[in-house]
Amino acid sequence: KQRWGRVNEQVCKFVGSYEAALKEQASGQNENDVMKSAHDIFFNDYQVKFTLEHAWRELRFDQKWRSNFFSKDGAKEKQKEAA
């Protein structure tokens, strides 16, 4: 239980960093560039390296950790804001 608690907490934090990196993604950047940016954002926010990328890759498509930035088919979509 303790281990899952640490994994869950770190992965949840990294999801936020990854979404921030996706929003900053410039034209011409690939997945590797986004991941590097997400790791940098995570480090800047929490002053510790994210070491559970393997766990995040397994969990990233589960509903709890799925990014709201992607549609179901994996294509990027813009979020509509309420007026």
The pLDDT tens digits of the residues spanning 27-65 come to 887 888 888 989 999 898 889 898 888 887 877 777 665
**Count of structural domains, the chain:** 1
State pTM to two decimals.
0.66
Note whether residue 28 is domain-resident. yes
| Phi, then psi, of 48 in degrees rounded to 5 | -150, 145
Note whether residue 46 is domain-resident. yes
* Cβ(59)–Cβ(11) below 8 Å: yes
Note whether residue 73 is domain-resident. no
* Cβ(20)–Cβ(41) below 8 Å: yes
**For residue 44, what are the domain limits?**
2-65
Note whether residue 78 is domain-resident. no
Alpha helices in 1-83 (DSSP H): 2-24, 31-46, 53-59
Predicted confidence band of residue 72 (pLDDT cuts 50, 70, 90): very low
Note whether residue 79 is domain-resident. no
CA 38 to CA 71: how far, in whole Å?
A: 20
Among residues 47, 49, 44, the alpha carbon closest in space to that of 21 is found at 44
